[in-house]
Structure 1
């Protein structure tokens, strides 16, 4: 059981790295001059493919956390 969960954890972590790397950056050069106020007040919801990537990242992160906790529980028994 431990080996199967560890293999799934490795696959999930690889997918998580790829998904995070695919996300577009949201920084611009002017944000250092404005103090980031444009990010605070000008926040827009992600749409389309970007929203899909965010949703997949949250799901994979949750699965990663759950598998990590399960492996820790199994290793202590």
Structure 2
């Protein structure tokens, strides 16, 4: 029963990660001002912007993805 629940959570995380990655902007946007990026308003407050939140969700989702993948492959459940 737990294996089924973990598998469903795993699929939901996979779909969410795919959507989050597709929503993110490319890193090549804004390469024209490489040196001054940290001094701008958006550079200092990136964590509070939508792009910063998407990056955080991507990191946490990737960690959950790998942990669930390892747990589901242990075959102890």
User: Do they superpose with TM above 0.5?
Assistant: yes
Check if 1:22 corresponds to 2:23: yes
CA deviations 1:15-61 (Å, max 9, x no partner) are: 00000000001226x8xxxxxxx86x677457111111100000000
Which residue is equivalent to 1:62? Answer: 63
Q: Give the alignment's Cα RMSD to 1 decimal.
A: 2.5
Give the 4+ runs in structure 1 shifted more than 6 A.
none
Structure 1, unpaired ranges of 5+: 31-37
Q: Within 1, Cα distance between the matches of 2:37 and 2:53?
A: 18
Number of residue pairs aligned between Structure 1 and Structure 2: 68
TM-score by length of 2: 0.71
TM-score by length of 1: 0.71
Change (3 A) 1:50 1:2: same
